Structure 1
Amino acid sequence: MKTKKQSEATNILGLPVKEAGVIAAELNILLSNFQVYYQNLRGIHWNIRGKRFFDLHIKFEELYNDAQLKIDMVAERVLTLGGTPLHTFEDYIANNRLEVGKDISKDVDAVQLVIASLSDLLKIERVILEESDKINDEGTNSMMSDFIKEQEKTMWMMKAWCEEEI
């Protein structure tokens, strides 16, 4: 049976309250950056031009639909950990680490933006993965592992499309 001091130190999930709060804050940074990534994807989806329009238009829609799902998952994880998800554009911009794509219509520039954005998201996710692993936060850990695996594959495909080496 837990003592009063032990029960105060952990949340309902059995995770240390202080560390869970730190992870929730890091997840809010990820949430903000995913919102910028999502908007970048919408912009390149709408503005793409050229001979590869049909293929890329569909691919960017696939990516922004996936990003939208991930945004919801991250926000719900913040709530699960006892935090409050950020939900204003002001918060998103304040926490953004991604390049903001504006008026991108060329295929290679659009794909390069996706690659750069995913690279920056991976950096944030790896920090969260490391922190969640320290406190045995399997829910966050599993989510980050899944995101990382999917995004690494997407980056590889995008780089292959650009005929670049990883």
Structure 2
Amino acid sequence: MKLNTLGLPVKETGVIAAELNILLANFQVYYQNLRGLHWNIRGKRFFDLHLKFEELYNDSQLKIDLIAERVLTLGAVPLHTFGDYIKNSKLTVGKDIHNDEVAITLILDSVSRLLKIERVILSQASEINDEGTTSMMSDFIVEQEKTVWMLSAWLEQDI
């Protein structure tokens, strides 16, 4: 088995980098959705949600950079065009959303889908002892599970 300079198997590392690029594309769509929600939310909960959406998009922007840098660390090239993002994203694109419940539902659905992708990457990275990717995915998952709980509570839904 051929190893890269990180000591990881080349073939499996390429697969993980490709999955990280899928995650990157999904995070870019998620980020843009959050920006749109931040700009377009209306109603009595405007002030609270406007700030919350800003908090979420700032966090996703940091995660986007971490994902892209991990792709580079693994020896691949991160996706970086809008066409690649749309082609590789599984998230719903939110357009002209003004209603608070519709906005929160979109975010909840998006985070749930991101978690599914991250769990696949976590499993793949664990199999080859890729601690850098495993650690990053674990951190993301812990934070996003809490976000799912909070969004579900806001919507008065069970997890």
* TM-score interval for Structure 1 and Structure 2 normalised by the shorter chain: over 0.9
1:23 corresponds to: 16
- Runs of 5+ consecutive residues of structure 1 not aligned to the other structure: 1-5
Say whether residues 1:162 and 2:155 are aligned partners. Answer: yes
- Once residues 143 and 152 of structure 1 are traced to their aligned partners in structure 2, the CA distance between those partners, rounded to angstroms, is 14
- Once residues 54 and 155 of structure 1 are traced to their aligned partners in structure 2, the CA distance between those partners, rounded to angstroms, is 21
- Once residues 159 and 54 of structure 1 are traced to their aligned partners in structure 2, the CA distance between those partners, rounded to angstroms, is 20
1:3 corresponds to: none
2:136 corresponds to: 143
- Once residues 124 and 158 of structure 1 are traced to their aligned partners in structure 2, the CA distance between those partners, rounded to angstroms, is 19
- Once residues 114 and 158 of structure 1 are traced to their aligned partners in structure 2, the CA distance between those partners, rounded to angstroms, is 8
Aligned-residue Cα RMSD (Å) equals 0.6
1:33 corresponds to: 26
Q: Which amino acid aligns with 2:109?
A: A
Q: Write out aligned runs for 1:6-155 (5 A).
A: 9-155=2-148
Q: Secondary structure at the match of 2:125?
A: helix
* Cα distance, 1:60 vs structure 2: 0.2
Question: Which of 1 and 2 has greater Rg?
Answer: 1
- Once residues 41 and 93 of structure 1 are traced to their aligned partners in structure 2, the CA distance between those partners, rounded to angstroms, is 16
Tell me the matched-pair count: 159
- Runs of 5+ consecutive residues of structure 2 not aligned to the other structure: none
- Once residues 159 and 62 of structure 1 are traced to their aligned partners in structure 2, the CA distance between those partners, rounded to angstroms, is 17
TM (normalized to structure 1)?
0.95
